[in-house]
Amino acid sequence: MTHIKRITTLAAATVLMLGLSACSNMSDRDRNTAIGAGAGGVAGSVLTGGSTTGTIGGAVVGGIIGNQIDKDKK
């Protein structure tokens, strides 16, 4: 069982590192959109008890809000 735990931990760490490196060339606006969508998806899932519709709706709303943050700063 310990061997499976190590493999799972290594796989999760690898996926996390690849995911973080994918954001390295994003603009601030793109990064805000992705962060907003992720946070909105989590919030929507929590507020609706894990419903798919709530998760997707939260991600959409969070992405829109994240996209509009600092829109006028240039």
pLDDT digits (tens, 9 = 90+) for 13-33: 888 777 767 767 888 888 888
Q: Is residue 64 part of a domain?
A: yes
- Please tell me the distance from the alpha carbon of residue 74 to that of residue 68, in angstroms, as a whole number: 13
The three state secondary structure string of the chain is: CHHHHHHHHHHHHHHHHHHHHHCCCCCHHHHHHHHHHHHHHHHHHHHCCCCHHHHHHHHHHHHHHHHHCCCCCC
pLDDT average, residue stretch 28-55? 88
Q: Is residue 8 part of a domain?
A: yes
Number of domains in the chain: 1
Query: What is the pLDDT, as a whole number, of residue 64?
Result: 93
Q: Is residue 54 part of a domain?
A: yes
Query: What is the pLDDT, as a whole number, of residue 62?
Result: 92
pLDDT average, residue stretch 47-52? 87
Note the pTM of the prediction, 2 decimals: 0.64
Q: Is residue 30 part of a domain?
A: yes
Query: What is the pLDDT, as a whole number, of residue 57?
Result: 92
Domain that holds residue 58: 2-68
